[in-house]
Structure 1
């Protein structure tokens, strides 16, 4: 018996919009930011807040990014305070002395994933505003993944825990 393989089927609809927001510190690379936006779209994220001089490269972001509402702000700390006031758990993607391994962290449904700058990570002021920090284990050099890759891993883990 032969089964027909269908490529590029339409995405599975979510039962309700995800209560997940991605909040990014100013990025050095628009390619990283565009990759994060494309991944956010693939994960059903509807809202992404970016800081600084953010520009999206549509050749990188492509189709899925069209469903993501992009908000550009000047500074991340006021954004984080607003998200907390709206009931989001602020989860920084950062290696700290108190960060939790991504594989064992239970994401709340209403999460704001806070992404730092490629080189500097999250500032002290930004870290002070987070409720939790998660890190991804690394077994080689360098000591961390590229910001777009790490964000994709964290978004995937959230989606695995909250599939619909």
Structure 2
């Protein structure tokens, strides 16, 4: 079994998860950026992470970048052909779709109310947000740039926006009380504890009652 401190840690993380703050990557093409964004998502309590890409398979997760954070949120691949319908469904659920794009109607990312149900949509570094996603956006934002460069790396930009959302959510005391139902917390906790137990057993980091031999004894 996991020790009490590990279980308490899982419970504490679940109590700060924000079901109303979600992230969607529009046609991601860099597994390194995706992994870095996952780590930022976990750090602010994002529970649901979505992405689309042209390759009909999951994007590789770089564990040295995520540092295990990919285990503590749900990630889902959305087919490119279905991404507009997916985001429209989110809007029907009451989410505002916030996209990053430089245009005449763009506003600073700080002006959005992230205490509302929000899906933050980030584009890839080459093409940005696709036109069809841009058309359905509720808010179009930019990160003000004061230097020669007109954009940031997508993982850095995502982290900035997420931490503005975290600032607002913290100001609204959203991290002070669970945002998930008790049933959701218990269901996810059971899943995470079970998975963590299997993972630790496979790595030999859980005491099983048998004397552990040294590396020399195993040779």
Instruction: Out of 54-63 and 69-78, give the one that drifted further.
Output: 54-63
Whether the 8 Å contact between 1:102 and 1:135 is mirrored in structure 2 is yes
Unpaired runs of at least 5, structure 2: 1-8, 176-219
Alpha-carbon distance in structure 1 between the residues aligned to 2:160 and 2:95: 20
Among 88, 91, 108, the alignment partner of 2:95 is: 88
Tell me the number of residue pairs that the alignment of Structure 1 and Structure 2 aligns. 155
User: As a proportion of its length, which structure holds more helix?
Assistant: 2
Whether the 8 Å contact between 2:122 and 2:129 is mirrored in structure 1 is yes
Q: Does 1:121 align with 2:122?
A: no
Q: Does 1:63 align with 2:64?
A: no
Q: Which has the larger radius of gyration?
A: 2
Whether the 8 Å contact between 1:101 and 1:135 is mirrored in structure 2 is yes
Q: Does 1:77 align with 2:78?
A: no
CA deviations over 1:19-45 (Å, ceiling 9, x no partner): 111011112211001000010011100
Q: How does the TM-score come out when normalised to structure 2?
A: 0.66
Unpaired runs of at least 5, structure 1: 1-9
Give the direction of change, closer, same or farther, for the CA distance of 1:72–1:14 in structure 2 (3 Å limit). Answer: closer
Match of 1:35 in 2: 36
Match of 1:17 in 2: 17
- TM superposition outliers: structure 1 runs of 4+ over 4 Å: 10-16
Q: How does the TM-score come out when normalised to structure 1?
A: 0.86
Whether the 8 Å contact between 2:21 and 2:114 is mirrored in structure 1 is no
User: As a proportion of its length, which structure holds more strand?
Assistant: 1
In the TM superposition, what is the alpha-carbon distance from 1:142 to its structure 2 partner? 2.1
In the TM superposition, what is the alpha-carbon distance from 1:104 to its structure 2 partner? 2.8
Alpha-carbon distance in structure 1 between the residues aligned to 2:15 and 2:61: 28
Whether the 8 Å contact between 2:115 and 2:168 is mirrored in structure 1 is no
Alpha-carbon distance in structure 2 between the residues aligned to 1:146 and 1:61: 17
